[in-house]
Structure 1
Amino acid sequence: MTVYFLVTCYPKDGDQPLSSTDVTAVGAEAWGELLGMAPEQLADVYPLTHQHADRVRQLTGIALDLEKYEYFLEPEEDPSL
């Protein structure tokens, strides 16, 4: 099973994503470490907060503007499998 990781940006109090960036290259190990769980347990949608912002920027180059937007790490299985 191949899992892709996306950082998805939503407007505050909105339910339609503004953007989604593939951050699979960072690797499940790094995302698991950031969220405090084993990489194989990453199967849900996880909010990215001020606590995560600096490390997300280091790993991906994405600066989280948490005053205007909400961000989530969204693992997705490869739909072609």
Structure 2
Amino acid sequence: MSIVYSVSRYPKDDERPDSSTDVTAVGGTAWAELLGIPLEQLVDVHPLTREHAERVRQLTGITLDLGKYDYFLEPSAD
């Protein structure tokens, strides 16, 4: 079993994402370091905030527009 990591974008005040980008190539270790949690605990959905925005852009090329959207790192089993 492997883990697939996605960055999902939700319009503010909406429960459905309008986009999801596979960011598995970045690797779980980099995501765990960014979020400040052990890799083995990187199994839940985690919000991405202003403090994460620049590093997310460096790792993925995704610019977080936090004024219009909420972003989450969503791991899932493949």
TM range (shorter): over 0.9
Tell me, which stretches of 5 or more residues in structure 2 are unaligned? none
Instruction: Give per-residue Cα distances to partners, 1:24-53, cap 9 Å, x unaligned.
Output: 000000000000011121010000000000
Q: Post-superposition, which runs of at least 4 consecutive aligned residues in structure 1 deviate over 2 A?
A: none
Alignment of 1:1-81 (within 5 A): 1-78=1-78
SS of structure 2 residue aligned to 1:17:
coil
Distance 1:28 1:62 in 2: 17
Q: Output the TM-score relative to the length of structure 2.
A: 0.98
Distance 1:2 1:34 in 2: 20
Superposed displacement of residue 56, structure 1:
0.1
Identity of aligned residues (%): 65
Partner Cα distance (1:51, 1:73) in 2: 14
Alpha-carbon RMSD: 0.5
